[in-house]
Amino acid sequence: MLPKFDYIAPKTIEETFELLDKHGQDARLLAGGTDLIVSLRARERIPKAVIDIKAMKELHDLSFDEKRGLSIGAAVTLNRLLHYDATSKHFPVLCEAVSTIGDYEIRNRATLTGNICNASPAADSAPALLVLEAAVNVASRKGRRSIPVREFFAGVKKTVLARGEMVTSINVPTPPKGSRGGYLKARRTVGEDLAVVGVGGLVTPSSKSSKTVRLAYASVAPTPVRALEAEKIFERDKPLDELLDQAMPIVSKTISPITDVRGGKEYRTNLVEVLTRRLLQRLWEAN
């Protein structure tokens, strides 16, 4: 049984701001419910109010143009996102990552915004959004701001959202021309699972001989992380194997895998190495 709370479905964003200002930490926003309902049943949170965002039409917008990129409203479900032509055409890394979340039925309800606001260290969409350098659009009574996804996560299940703030959409800029992106996820089973380790990468040819690399990880730190320091190594004009040999120790310093019920520290450390090499090898060869 779920705890007792008041349910409200505001029709306007201004109404939502009022409710958020009023309740602060005692309110939870409801989009797909696939994380929130589980959390409520487990009594991880006992809010006074649950605010359903799905009655606000503008939050269901999903659009793309080359210049601004992909705009994903907070209420857009993962399946809608996956079935949108522009997503598979221009953002294959996002497709690859999002399609590993839960199962088809979960993806009929779960939202991209929900996935990042839940802020699990294992959030599969995060490495993709990090390498694509997405921006999170936030609004409150005080106004609007855009937060790079890299700055959005504050800790395990914590975001930087302040009291009264909500995410209205996520904007994903079109990746540079010629980019190749991908997401590899290690699981305990062939069947659906949370990431034991998740690696997202984006490789862009920057000149005839060199490439720029963006690398991001899930499940190896308190939040999903970009391996910014290690990425610099790949600017050098060397064979990939050599670059990886130099970059991996730096990646190790960026992450802090732990032992939990899903995997051991040593094994996760191994997976980071193995999956990073495999992903970059896949993305490197093409050009």
Partner 1 sequence: MGYKYVGKGVPRVDAFEKITGMAKFVADMEVFAMLYGKFLRSPHAHARILSIDTKRAEKHPGVVAAITGQAFPYRMGLYVRDKMVLAKDKVRWAGEPVAAVAAESEESAEEAIELIDVKYEPLAPVFDVNEALKPGAPLLHEDLAQYEHSPVFTPVPGTNIANIFKIRKGDVEDGFKRARTIVENEFSMPQVSHGAMEPRACIAQYFQDGSTEVWTCAQSPFAVRYILSHALGMPLQKINVHVPHVGGGFGGKAGINFEPLAVLLSKFSGGRPVKLLLTREEEFTTAPLRQGFYASIKTGVDGDGKIIAEQMRYIYDAGAYADYGVNIGRAAGYSCTGPYEVPNIHCDSITAYTNHPYGTAYRGFGHLEFLWAIERQMDMVAHKIGVDPVEIRLRNALRPGSITATGEKLREDAGRVDQCIKAAAESIGWGKKEKQTCDGRLQGIGIAALWKAPAMPPNAASSAIIKFNEDGSANLSVGVTEIGQGTTTSLAQIAAEELSMSFEKIRVVPVRITDLTPYSWQTVASRNLFMEGRAVIAAARDAKEQILDMGAQALRVPKADLVLENEMVFPKGQPDKGIPLQQFAMGYTYPNGTAIGGPVIGRGGYVPRGLTYLDPETGQGFPALKWTFGAQAVKIEVDPETGEVKVLKVASAFDIGKAINPLLVRGQVYGGMLQSLSIGLMEGYVYNQAGVMLNSNFTDYKIARASDVPDEHVVTLIENPQSDGPYGARGIGELTMLSIPPAIAGAIFDATGVQMFKLPMTPESIWTTIKQQKPELLARKR
Partner 2 sequence: MSKHTIHLTVNGIDRTVEVESNKTLLWVLRYNLALTGPKAACERGDCGLCTILMDDNPVKSCLILAVEADGHKITTIEGIAKDGVLSPVQRKFVEHGALQCGFCTPAAVLAAEALLKRNPSPTREEVVEAIEGVLCRCTGYRQIVDAILDAARMKT
Positions that interact with partner 2 (CB under 8 A): 1-9, 30, 32-34, 37-38, 41-42, 50, 52, 54, 79, 102-106, 108-109, 191-192
Q: Are strands 49-52 and 27-30 parallel, antiparallel or unpaired?
A: parallel
147 binds, among partner 1, partner 2, none (CB under 5 to 8 A by kind): none
Binding residues for partner 1, rule: CB under 8 A, are 1, 186, 188-194, 196, 241, 261-264, 266-267, 270-271, 274-275
Report the SS3 class of residue 77.
Answer: strand
> What is the helix (H) or strand (E) element at residue 104, kind and residue range?
helix 104-107
105 binds, among partner 1, partner 2, none (CB under 5 to 8 A by kind): partner 2
CB of 122 to partner 2, least distance (A): 15
1 C-beta neighbours (distance < 10 Å), count: 5
> Which residue lies nearer to partner 1 by CB, 58 or 285?
285
Report the SS3 class of residue 47.
Answer: coil
CB of 91 to partner 2, least distance (A): 20
Q: How far apart are CA 266 and CA 241, in angstroms?
A: 22
Question: Which of 108, 112, 114 minimizes the C-alpha distance to 129?
Answer: 112
248: left (phi over 0), alpha (psi -120 to 50) or beta: alpha
190 binds, among partner 1, partner 2, none (CB under 5 to 8 A by kind): partner 1
CB of 31 to partner 2, least distance (A): 11
CB of 190 to partner 1, least distance (A): 5
* Exposed / middle / buried, residue 182 (Cβ in 10 Å: 0-12, 13-18, 19+): buried
CB of 118 to partner 2, least distance (A): 13
